[in-house]
Amino acid sequence: MADTRPLLLSDPDALPTAYTPLPGGSSSPEIRRIHVKEVLAMFAGVVMVSLLVVIIGNTGQDGNVYHRHNRRDKPMLLAASPTKETATKAEKAEKLQAVTRGMAAGVSEKSSRLYSSDVGAGTPVYPWNNSMLSWQRTAFHFQPEKNWMNDPNGPLFYKGWYHFFYQYNPKGAVWGNIVWGHAVSRDLIHWLHLPLAMVADQWYDINGVWTGSATILPNDQIVMLYTGSTNESVQVQCLAYPADHKDPLLTKWVKYSGNPVLVPPPGTGVKDFRDPTTAWYTTDGKWRITIGSKVNKTGISLVYDTKDFITYEQLDGVLHAVPGTGMWECIDFYPVSKTSDKGLDTSQNGADVKHVMKASLDDDRNDYYALGSYNEKTGKWVPDNQKIDVGIGIRYDYGKFYASKTFYDQNKQRRVLWGWIGESDSENADVKKGWASLQGIPRTVLFDQKTGSNLLQWPVEEIEKLRLNKKNFDKVQVKAGSVVPLDVGTATQLDIVVEFELDQKVVESAAESNEEFSCQTSGGAAKRGALGPFGLLVLADDSLSERTPVYFYVVKGSGGTVNTYFCADQTRSSVATDVVKQVSGSYVPVLKGETLSLRILVDHSIIESFAQGGRTTITTRVYPTQAIYGAARLFLFNNATDTSFTASLQIWQMNSAFIRPFSPDAASHASFTPVTVFIKFIVPFGIFLTLYFVR
C-alpha cells in the first residue's frame, strides 16, 4: 500500500525576507477630525479620477511620437573602456568568497560566482541598498515570494489549471534543502502559490527531492517520476501521484511505498543518474522514459520501458550519446511537426514528425538541442546533422537559461517550454534581498519550416494580456555612430517589437571580409564594424553610464555571403563590481528577403530577447544601480561605421502579473485586469480610510 500521508508540511523555520524596509519618517503629524461630507467628497473625487486613469491605461493608446535629443548626431557614447564611475565604498567593503554549491551533492554547480571570468573571490562586495535590491524583483515573471528556486518540474495542464512545480529551498536564498514548490494558473501568467507538493522526508529523498516529470495517462490519471537523493547521496528514481485525482488543484501528493523504482544500473556512477523525462507510449503498449547519465566524458541518455511505472526494463544501448559533452541532466525528448503550427503530444510519431533531443550540460550549464529522427523499434535517435549534435551545436538560449523542461498543453495544442533563469550577481546580494532565481516567460516551441534546422521559441500569447499603453515609432532613421532616445516613459516593464532595415546599397558595396566574428570575444557593442553593431540600449540611464545593448552585427564574408549575429552586452549594464558582465549571443539564420526582426521583454532585472521569430534567443540578467525606477530609459543605437538604418517599433508598457498565495477568492479571480484590481482592492481600502477619518 502507498503511504497516504499528505506531503504538505510547510517549514516553520523558513527564512523571512532578508532585507529591511526602507526607513520612513520618525513621526506622524497629528490628524485633525474632518467633516464626513468633506471626506466623502474627496474620496469620491479620488475614486473617479483613479478609475478613469486605470481604464485609459488598460485600454492602451497608439502613438507615433519620438523625441530626438541633441545627442543623436554626436559620436556614440559606447567607449571601449568601462565607466570610471565606481563605488568608492566598495573598495573598503567585504570581499566576495568563493562558494560552491551542489556539485558535492551530485548536481550541477549552483553558485554563479565560479562561472564568471571577470568576477571571483576577492572582488569587493558592492554596497547595495534596499531601493536597488527591491527594484530587481520582477513584475510579471514567476518566482516564489522568497528564497531560492531552480529547475522547473513536472509542468502540466489538468482540469482547467496549469500546474508548475519547481526546485525550492524553503530555508533561504541559496541552494540546499530542496523540496518541490507548487503553483497554479489559469493562463500561465497570473499564479497562485500552493503548499509544498513534496518534501524530503523519506530515506530515498532525504537529501533532496530533485527534478522530475509528469505523465498524464489515458484515464486522466497522473504519475510523477522524480530523482531522490538518498541518505547515502545515491541518485534514485521515485514515483509519486495525486492523493485525489478529482482535485483540480492537486494539493496532496502520495509517494509510492515501494520507492525507489529505479536505481543506478551497473557501470553508472551513483551521482550520475538523474532527471527522468515525461513518458511516451510505444506501439508495444509500453511507456518509455529516458534518464541522463555519462560514461567518462560522454553524455548519454539511458532508456527504460514500463507498463505500470513500478517495474522497468532497461533497453540495450542508449537513446543517444555524444563524446566530450560530460554529464547530461534534465534531458527532454519530444516530437515537433514538420508541417503544422500545432504542438504534438509526447507520444506522437510519424513521417511528418521530427524529434527534439535536449540536454542540460553539467559541465557548462547550458541547454543544447538537436533535431533528428527517432526509431521506436531500436530505441535510438539520430541527429539530422552531426556537426550540430546535442552539446556541440545549437542552444535553446545563449544567455542565462538552464534545466529547461517542456510539456504538451492539450488545452491549446501547443508545446510549452519552461527555463530556470538564475542570478548573475553575488550570493551576498541574494541573501540580502531574500530571494534568488526566477523562471523565464513560458515559450511555445515549433519546428522552423523555413530553415529546417532550427526551433522557433516565442513567448506564450497570454503575456500580451499585460500590455498597457502602446507607442508606435515608424521608420526612425539612425545614422552611423549615433544614439536616438525613444520617449516611452519609464522603461522598466516593456514589450518591444522592432524591425530594422539596412541601407542595401551600402551592404552590397561593403568590402568583403575574412573576419571571424563571435559575440563572446568581439568586444561587445563598442566594437565597430562596417555593418554593425546596431540595435537597442535597454535599461539605460540618461548619461548612458549604465546600458545593456541588444543588437545585430552583420558581416559580409568572402563571395559576398552575409552572416548575421545576435548579441547582448552586459559589460556596461551596471557600475556594480560584483555582477557578471559578459557578452552573449550567436549566429542567427536570416533568409533572403527577410528583414531583421527583434522582440524584447524587459522586466526589471531580466531581459528576454528573441531574434528572427525566435530562431535565436538570449536571456540576460542585469543589475543597474542608476537606470532603475523612473530613471530607466530606452534608446536606439547604431555603432556601425558605414551604414545607417531605419527602425519601426511597437512598444507597450507592461502591467504586473497577479502572483500571490492561494485563497478560495483568489482562485475564482486568477486572471485580474487593472479595473477588477481597482474595484476589489483600491475601493475597499478607500472606504476603510474614510471610516477611519470620520469615526
Q: What residues are labeled active site?
A: 151
CB atoms within 10 A of CB 508: 10
Q: What is the DSSP string of 601-623?
A: EEETTEEEEEEGGGTEEEEEE--
Q: Provide the grid cell at 392.
A: 556541440
Residues paired with residue 119 on neighbouring β-strands, in sequence order: none
Q: Return the H-helix or E-strand segment holding 509.
A: helix 504-509
Q: What is the distance between the terminal CA atoms of the chain, rounded to a whole angstrom? A: 61
Rounded to whole angstroms, the Cα distance separating 418 from 421 reads 10
Q: Return the H-helix or E-strand segment holding 428.
A: helix 427-433
- Where would I find the beta strands (DSSP E) of 131-286? 147-158, 161-169, 179-185, 191-198, 209-216, 222-229, 235-242, 253-255, 280-281
**Backbone phi, psi, residue 461, to 5°:** -60, -25
Nearest in space to 284 (alpha carbons), one of 301, 302, 306: 306
Residues paired with residue 291 on neighbouring β-strands, in sequence order: 302
Going by their DSSP bridges, the two strands 443-447 and 482-486 should be labelled as unpaired
Rounded to whole angstroms, the Cα distance separating 451 from 132 reads 43
Q: The sheet that has 147-158: what strands, in order across it?
A: 435-436, 147-158, 161-169, 179-185, 191-198, 659-661
**Chain centroid to CA 531: how far?**
30
Half-sphere exposure of 411 (CA within 13 A, CB side): 15
Give the 3-state secondary structure of residue 427.
Answer: helix
Q: Which amino acid is at 344?
A: L
**Backbone phi, psi, residue 132, to 5°:** -65, -50
User: For the stretch 299-336, what's the b/e string if a residue is b when 16 or more beta carbons lie within 10 angstroms of its beta carbon?
Assistant: bbbbbbbbeebeebeeeeebbbbbeebbbbbbbbbbbb
| 549-554 contacts at long range (C-beta below 8 A, 24 or more positions apart) | 549/78, 549/524, 549/525, 549/637, 550/598, 550/600, 550/607, 550/609, 550/618, 550/620, 551/525, 551/637, 552/500, 552/588, 552/596, 552/598, 552/611, 553/517, 553/519, 553/522, 553/529, 554/502, 554/507, 554/529
Contact, 474 vs 648, CB < 8 A? Answer: yes
**Chain centroid to CA 24: how far?**
34
Rounded to whole angstroms, the Cα distance separating 374 from 52 reads 57
Q: Provide the grid cell at 238.
A: 521515485
Going by their DSSP bridges, the two strands 191-198 and 659-661 should be labelled as parallel
Contact, 186 vs 174, CB < 8 A? Answer: no
**Backbone phi, psi, residue 463, to 5°:** -60, -25
**Chain centroid to CA 369: how far?**
17
Residue 571, Ramachandran bin (φ over 0: left; ψ between -120 and 50: alpha; else beta): alpha
Which residues are within 8 A (CB) of 288 and not within 5 positions of it... i.e. 6 or more apart?
A: 279, 280, 281, 282, 303, 304, 305, 306, 379
Instruction: Give the single-character DSSP code of 139.
Output: S
